[in-house]
Amino acid sequence: MKACLLYSPAPVERNPLEFTDAPDPRPGKGEVLVRVKMCGVCRTDLHVVEGELPPKKSPVIPGHQIVGVVESLGEGARRFKRGDRVGIPWLHSTDQTCEFCRAGMENLCDHPTFTGYTVDGGYAELTVAPEDFVYAIPEAFADEHAAPLLCAGIIGFRCLRLSGIKRGGRLAFYGFGSAAHIATQIARHWGVEVYACTRGAKHQQLALQLGAVWAGEASAEPPEKLDAAIIFAPAGELVPPALAALKKGGVLVLGGIHMSPIPSFDYNLLYQERVIRSVANNTRQDGEDFLRVAAQIPIHSQVTLFPLRDANRALNDLKSDRINGAAVLDCTQ
């Protein structure tokens, strides 16, 4: 099969992914072999490729927003059949025995594996995954529009849940990429006022098109005090202005897997029961709940398509904020 392999992390400007031939994977016990149709390009992929997440496997095939078709079944796999359209997310597997898994918090599992990071992912023509961690893709979505739902969508949904935002509340997104452009549609469906704090006129314009009541620079103060804010940008310097924009008792959610250092700030920004919380990974239930809601709305993900061989270019465009919405690799080209 053709695949993009990362042998050694490096700045994406150096185009570190090698588009080459790789052995076809084989499904093990309880696994499915999936022929990849589309794979979303996530900021987490950027952190993997550039080494901001410590390397766990070399070489590794990145990619964890995978949409494809079941090609074959491993021993004992019965949940899907050949030809079924499925999605493979970031959370590849958990031990299902640690205290967190037993408590229904498998996103915090002590011994997880992650697609495209600790195991090979979807920047390839074929991949494998445990059937218990694979999603059925709703018919409402074309392959390319389904791919960003599998991380940007699910993580955005979990962030919304943990923010505690309610109908009529005011919510800001800091950074307006793939996750925020999906989460905005959910928030608007829930009757929430959305404010977009993001650099770049095209991102601000997209936010307004999706129903945001205001869009401005990330450093600007929104015109109203907020009930909650979510930071998707990996920029720790956004924490103080986001806290300053919150009402008393407001919640700030940090939605990324990696963030630059957070500067010190005056205690008054946190006082009056403001809360900072992070979001780590997702549970399978998050994914099932989100995909159901996404099909009901229905969510429309704005995508820019790249052929698989151009994964380096897609990552460069993502890093340079040239992607409006989500980047997706067409793994059939």
What is the CATH number for 87? Answer: 3.90.180.10
Are residue 13 and residue 145 in the same domain, yes or no?
yes
Are residue 135 and residue 17 in the same domain, yes or no?
yes
Rounded distance between C-alpha atoms, residue 117 and residue 86, angstroms = 20
Are residue 269 and residue 291 in the same domain, yes or no?
no
Are residue 113 and residue 166 in the same domain, yes or no?
no
- Give 181's contacts (C-beta < 8 A, 6+ positions apart): 206, 207, 210, 301, 302, 325, 326
Rounded distance between C-alpha atoms, residue 298 and residue 145, angstroms = 11
Write the single-letter amino acid at 3.
A
Are residue 145 and residue 287 in the same domain, yes or no?
yes
Range of the domain at 302: 2-152+281-330
Q: In terms of pTM, does the model score above 0.75?
A: yes
Rounded distance between C-alpha atoms, residue 55 and residue 7, angstroms = 10
Indicate the residue among 235, 254, 278 that finishes a domain: 278
Are residue 52 and residue 114 in the same domain, yes or no?
yes
**For position 165, which CATH number holds?**
3.40.50.720
- Write down the number of H helices and E strands in the chain: 9, 17
Looking at the structure of the chain, the number of domains it has is: 2
Tell me the pLDDT of the chain (333 aa) as tens digits. 999 999 999 999 999 999 999 999 999 999 999 999 999 999 999 999 999 999 999 999 999 999 999 999 999 999 999 999 999 999 999 999 999 999 999 999 999 999 999 999 999 999 999 999 999 999 999 999 999 999 999 999 999 999 999 999 999 999 999 999 999 999 999 999 999 999 889 999 999 999 999 999 998 999 999 999 999 999 999 999 999 999 999 999 999 999 999 999 999 999 999 999 999 999 999 999 999 999 999 999 999 999 999 999 999 999 999 999 999 999 998
- Give 227's contacts (C-beta < 8 A, 6+ positions apart): 164, 165, 166, 169, 170, 171, 246, 247, 250, 251
